[in-house]
Structures are given as C-alpha cells and as structure tokens.
C-alpha cells in the first residue's frame, strides 16, 4: 500500500525539499520585513505609519491565492518581463502576505509595552534608542512569540497554495503522483500527517521557547 | 510665633536651590492645562513634599523636573542651569535626577540585580563588575540582598518599590523624585517603603515627594507645598502648614482627608 512512496520517491523528495526551502525562505523574509515595517510604523511618526499602513492593509485584505496568481501572471507585465520563476513568485507572494501580518504583530507588541516603562528608562538617563533596545524591544519580543508562532504555522499551511502556480512543492508533487498512480487515499492522508507533524514541531518549539521566557514578559 | 514656624533651615544657610521651578506652566497635547505658573524651590539636603487632591498637578510637576514632561512656559533651574534652554542635553540632566514611580516600573525581563545595575551600565557606561557591586550594596541597603537573582514579578509590591529606589540610587543622583511611591501598595507594605525613604532623608538625600502619606510629610519633610488645580496654594514648614494652614483650600483638603482617615497627624 505504501509502495507508491517508493515508486515515486524522486517526486516526493523534490516536493519535500521545495516545501521546506520555500517555508524557510518565507519565514526569514517575512519576519525580517515584518519587523522592519512594524518598527517603522510604531516609531516613525504619523506619516510613516499611514503610508506604510496602505500596503499592509491591502495585503491583509486580498486572498493569498489571488496574490500568488497576480504575482505569477500579472506582475511580469509591470516589470516589463514575460516570465517569473514560479518558486520566486511564491516566495514573493507568501513573504509579502506573511510580512504584512507579522508587521502588525510587531507593531502591536511594541505598543503593548506601557509608556511608563519608557519613562522609567528615560528617567535612568538612557537615550531613546537605549530605551527601545534595552527596555521596550525585549519585552515586546517575548509577547510577540505566540502570535508569530501562529502566523508561521498559517504560512506553512498556506504554502500549499503555491501548487496553483506550478511550484513543485509537496502538495503539487502529490497531485501528480495521484494522477499517475490512482492512489489518492494513501497519498493525501500521508500528506495530512506530514503537515500535522511539521506544523506541530514548529508550534511546539516556539511554545517551549515562550514558556521559558514568559515570566520575563509579564508586566 | 509664626516666624519660627516658617523658618526654612536650608534656605537660611544661604545655599542656592538645587531645583527651582520658576513660574512653570504645562499643558497636555490635548490642550488640558495641568500647571499654571508654579514656583517653588528645593535646596540641597531638603525633603520637599507636594500635597494636594488628585488631579492637582503634583505628579506632572515632578515629571517636569526631570523633563519627562515638557514645560510650556517658565524656567526650570537645576543646579544653577536653566534646563528649559534649548541647548541643554536632557539626558545628561536626567542622569543626575533619580525617580521612583507609583507603579514601580521595574523592568520585568531583568533580574532584580540587573534592574539596579542597568542604569550605571547603560547610561553611565560603568564597567559591569563595578555596577553589579554597587547594585548588591544598594540591595543590601534596602534590605533585599537575598533577592538579587529573582525576577521583579516574584517580589511583593513593597519589595519591588524598594528595588526601584535602589535602582534610582544606583545612578548616584543629586536629587530623588518620588511620584506617589506608596499609592499602589497594600497598606501593610507602605511602612517598609517609607522606612527606606526616611533613612535616605536622614542621610541627607535631597528629595521631592508627591504623597498622600500625611504622617510622613509631617515628620520627614522640611518643606511642604500644597497644590490645587495646577497652582500653588501655599507652602511652608510642615509644622506651620499642618497646624496653621492659612488658605481655606488647604483647610478644605485636610478636612477631606480627616473625613476619610480620621485624625491628622500632629507630631
């Protein structure tokens, strides 16, 4: 019954590697970009907050499926080319959308540290920058861990949508195998187990990290 | 009689005020006026208590002293320098002014010892070993030498406030500001914090204290300032203010306290 995985191992291994690679890149880009945008929106004053809020709100309002298809089929016209690599398109679409959500988590985390903590830092003769790096950011970071963990989990699951623009990730490869082998039950069920295990590992790791530092974020 | 009651010891010594509020006004960004032409002086070694009903601007006034709130008019003179001038480095002034907050405001992500050491390490760029030695010394002084390794959240309110005092002292400030330091405490913990403050006063620390603890003001203060609606109502020695308040509004304020808490402290 599980012969199918051996028979099509080449496709599955490629799919697995692409899925892991895609998600690793998206996590790094979306967390870095989201942090940058979130920090800028929190500390950048009104104009920065409003201007950077526009793309964030747009990305949070458009279905990811539409974003991915737009990046793959439509964005090349904007940049005057005819083709964009599906993997690159998936990285861009997923990172933009994930980054938008993460920027809101970062902004909320920074805002959640009450302003009297900033006053306490200033009263100790710290500069504004020192207050942010020594007092506000560490506390905000701890509080951001659980929601960022959830968002990364959503990102991993949503990465299957990249199959519609022919990224050879695990779900796409599985569909190919199903079409050829006529064994949808075993392939799809195994796929579910695989995503369950992958997401649980990520979520539990972040939870464990959070539990260790949670007391330090309470205030 | 009145003269002897009104004698201000520190002012008599001829010393320049350490802190001088010279007709300062303050309004919040929403336009609400919180201070109107407030003036009073704090001399070296003096304990000045700010009294008055809530909303009278006491807390805003001491936050103006270390420029956590910007004054909109008037002069604020610190150690002879007008710090409301544009070219004054606020950070440098704040390094010499300690502050203790109503809600402690310890940094929850740092151990108690690090909370006390962080000011000297970050602001004064002191070597870490030196800062931690000083921090241990100060924790002992506030009676918490065994609590250095725990997080602030593991301490009681009274203990947290004593750590906060040690944290402010670590900067070796010239003046200490206390913004209602016992208002957020359970009644049984008020005493331990006031005891530390009393010890500091006895050691000659210059202190400005916003408080509702009338007994503390009566016994420890050298000078009392009564405020209402962002203005100074009257000022004087605690003996004079408590025994012979001149202004009707001071009497009304004390009368309200008496209704709540029974008798005013008399000595």
Mutation choice for B interface testing from A45, A115, A116, A123 by most B CBs within 10 A = A123
Alpha carbon distance A115, A136 (integer Å)? 9
Looking at the structure of chain A, the number of domains it has is: 1
Share the mean pLDDT of chain B.
92
* Contact between A124 and B118 using a beta-carbon 8 Å cutoff: yes
Q: How confident is the model at residue B266 (pLDDT cuts 50, 70, 90)?
A: low
Chain A residues closer than 8 Å to B107 by CB: 117, 120-121, 134-135, 139
Candidates A190, A199, A213; CA nearest to A8 is A190
* Contact between B108 and A122 using a beta-carbon 8 Å cutoff: no
pLDDT at B267 over 70: no
Question: Do B219 and B45 touch, CB atoms closer than 8 A?
Answer: no
A130: nearest CA in chain B? B122
The pLDDT value recorded for residue B98 is: 97
pLDDT digit string, tens, across residues A9-52: 999 999 999 999 999 999 999 999 999 999 999 999 999 999 99
* Contact between A117 and B123 using a beta-carbon 8 Å cutoff: no
The pLDDT value recorded for residue B1 is: 41
> Of A82-86, B45-49, B188-192, B256-260, where does mean pLDDT reach its minimum?
B256-260
pLDDT digit string, tens, across residues B146-169: 999 999 999 999 999 999 999 999
* Residue A195 CB partners (closer than 8 Å, separation 6+): A156, A157, A160
C-alpha torsion angle, residues A12, A13, A16, A17 (rounded to 10): -150
Question: Do A3 and A186 touch, CB atoms closer than 8 A?
Answer: no
The pLDDT value recorded for residue B150 is: 96
pLDDT at B220 over 90: yes
* Contact between B91 and A126 using a beta-carbon 8 Å cutoff: yes
Q: Rounded to a whole number, what is the distance in Å from the CA of B71 to chain A's nearest CA?
A: 16
* Contact between A219 and B108 using a beta-carbon 8 Å cutoff: yes
Question: Do A33 and A100 touch, CB atoms closer than 8 A?
Answer: no
The pLDDT value recorded for residue B221 is: 97
pLDDT at B122 over 60: yes
pLDDT at A214 over 90: no
Beta strand B47-51 pairing with B33-42: unpaired
Concatenated DSSP letters for B127-172? -HHHHHHHHHHHHHHTT-GGGTTS-GGGS-HHHHHHHHHHHHHTT-
Q: Rounded to a whole number, what is the distance in Å from the CA of A109 to chain B's nearest CA?
A: 15
Q: Give the strands of the sheet with B231-236, arranged side by side.
A: B97-100, B175-179, B206-210, B47-51, B223-228, B231-236
Candidate from B66, B109, B124 with C-beta closest to A139: B109
pLDDT at B4 over 80: no
Candidates B62, B134, B140; CA nearest to A119 is B62
The pLDDT value recorded for residue B12 is: 61
* Contact between A124 and B68 using a beta-carbon 8 Å cutoff: no
Q: Chain B within 8 Å of A132 (Cβ-Cβ)?
A: no
pTM value is: 0.88
Alpha carbon distance B159, A135 (integer Å)? 21
pLDDT digit string, tens, across residues A170-202: 999 999 999 999 999 999 999 999 999 999 999
Return residues 64-83 of B near A (CB < 8 Å).
66, 68
Q: Rounded to a whole number, what is the distance in Å from the CA of A147 to chain B's nearest CA?
A: 19
As a whole number of Å, the end-to-end CA separation of chain B is 17
Alpha carbon distance A142, A213 (integer Å)? 7
Question: Do B5 and B244 touch, CB atoms closer than 8 A?
Answer: yes
Q: How confident is the model at residue A70 (pLDDT cuts 50, 70, 90)?
A: very high
User: What is the span of the domain harbouring residue A109?
Assistant: 2-218
pLDDT digit string, tens, across residues B70-113: 999 999 999 999 999 888 899 999 999 999 999 999 999 999 99
Alpha carbon distance A104, B132 (integer Å)? 38
Q: What is the mean pLDDT of residues B103-131?
A: 97
Percent of residues, chain A, with pLDDT higher than 70: 99
The pLDDT value recorded for residue B264 is: 60
Chain B residues closer than 8 Å to A45 by CB: none
Chain B residues closer than 8 Å to A142 by CB: 109
A135: nearest CA in chain B? B107
CB-based burial label for B194 (10 Å; 0-12, 13-18, 19+): buried
Chain B residues closer than 8 Å to A214 by CB: none
Kindly report the CATH number assigned to the domain that includes residue A107. Answer: 1.10.3720.10
Q: How many CB atoms lie within 10 A of CB B27?
A: 18
As a whole number of Å, the end-to-end CA separation of chain A is 55
Q: What is the mean pLDDT of residues A65-71?
A: 97
Alpha carbon distance A120, B119 (integer Å)? 10
Q: Chain A within 8 Å of B134 (Cβ-Cβ)?
A: no
The pLDDT value recorded for residue A60 is: 96
Q: What is the mean pLDDT of residues A128-154?
A: 96
Percent of residues, chain B, with pLDDT higher than 70: 93
* Contact between A122 and B94 using a beta-carbon 8 Å cutoff: yes
The pLDDT value recorded for residue A21 is: 98
The pLDDT value recorded for residue B2 is: 47
Question: Do B85 and A104 touch, CB atoms closer than 8 A?
Answer: no
Q: What is the mean pLDDT of residues B17-36?
A: 93
């Amino acid at each position: 019954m599980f012969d199918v995985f051996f028979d099509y191992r080449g496709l599955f291994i490629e799919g697995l590697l692409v899925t892991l690679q895609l998600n690793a890149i998206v996590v790094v880009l979306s967390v870095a970009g989201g942090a940058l945008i979130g920090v800028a929106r929190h500390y950048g004053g009104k104009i920065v907050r409003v201007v950077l809020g526009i793309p964030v709100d747009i990305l949070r309002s458009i279905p990811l499926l539409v974003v991915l298809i737009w990046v793959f089929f439509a964005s090349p016209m904007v940049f005057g080319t005819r083709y964009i690599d599906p993997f690159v398109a998936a990285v861009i679409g997923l990172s933009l959308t994930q980054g938008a959500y993460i920027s809101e988590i970062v902004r909320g985390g920074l805002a959640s540290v009450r302003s009297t903590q900033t006053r306490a830092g200033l009263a100790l003769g710290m500069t504004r920058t020192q207050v942010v790096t020594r007092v506000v950011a560490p506390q905000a970071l701890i509080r951001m861990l659980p929601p960022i963990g959830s968002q990364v989990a959503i990102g991993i699951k949503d990465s299957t949508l990249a199959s519609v623009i022919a990224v050879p990730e695990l779900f796409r490869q599985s569909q190919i195998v199903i079409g050829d082998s006529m064994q949808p039950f075993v392939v799809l069920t195994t796929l579910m187990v695989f995503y369950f295990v992958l997401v649980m590992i990520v979520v539990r790791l972040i939870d464990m990290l959070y539990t260790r530092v949670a007391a330090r974020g309470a205030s | 009689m009145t003269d002897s009651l009104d004698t201000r010891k520190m002012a008599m010594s001829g010393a320049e005020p350490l802190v001088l509020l010279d007709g300062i006004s303050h309004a919040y960004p929403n336009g609400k006026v919180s201070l109107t032409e407030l003036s009073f002086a704090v001399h070296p070694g003096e304990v000045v208590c700010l009294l008055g009903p809530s909303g009278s601007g006491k807390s805003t006034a001491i936050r103006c002293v270390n420029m956590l709130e910007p004054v909109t008019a008037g002069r604020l003179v610190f150690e002879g320098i007008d710090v409301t001038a544009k070219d004054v480095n606020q950070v440098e002034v704040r390094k010499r002014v300690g502050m203790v907050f109503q809600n402690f405001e310890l940094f929850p992500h740092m151990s108690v010892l690090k909370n006390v050491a962080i000011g000297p390490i970050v602001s004064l760029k002191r070597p870490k070993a030196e800062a931690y030695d000083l921090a241990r010394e100060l924790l002992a002084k506030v009676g918490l030498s065994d609590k250095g390794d725990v997080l602030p959240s593991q301490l009681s309110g009274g203990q947290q406030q004593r750590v906060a005092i040690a944290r402010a002292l670590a900067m070796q400030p010239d003046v200490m500001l206390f913004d209602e330091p016992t208002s957020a405490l359970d009644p049984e913990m008020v005493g331990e914090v006031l005891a530390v403050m009393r010890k500091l006063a006895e050691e000659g620390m210059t202190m400005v204290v916003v408080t509702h603890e009338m007994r503390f003001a009566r016994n420890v203060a050298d000078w009392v300032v009564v405020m209402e609606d962002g203005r100074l109502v009257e000022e004087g020695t605690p003996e004079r203010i408590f025994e012979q308040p001149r202004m009707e509004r001071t009497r009304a304020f004390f009368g309200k306290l008496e209704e709540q808490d029974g008798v005013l402290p008399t000595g």
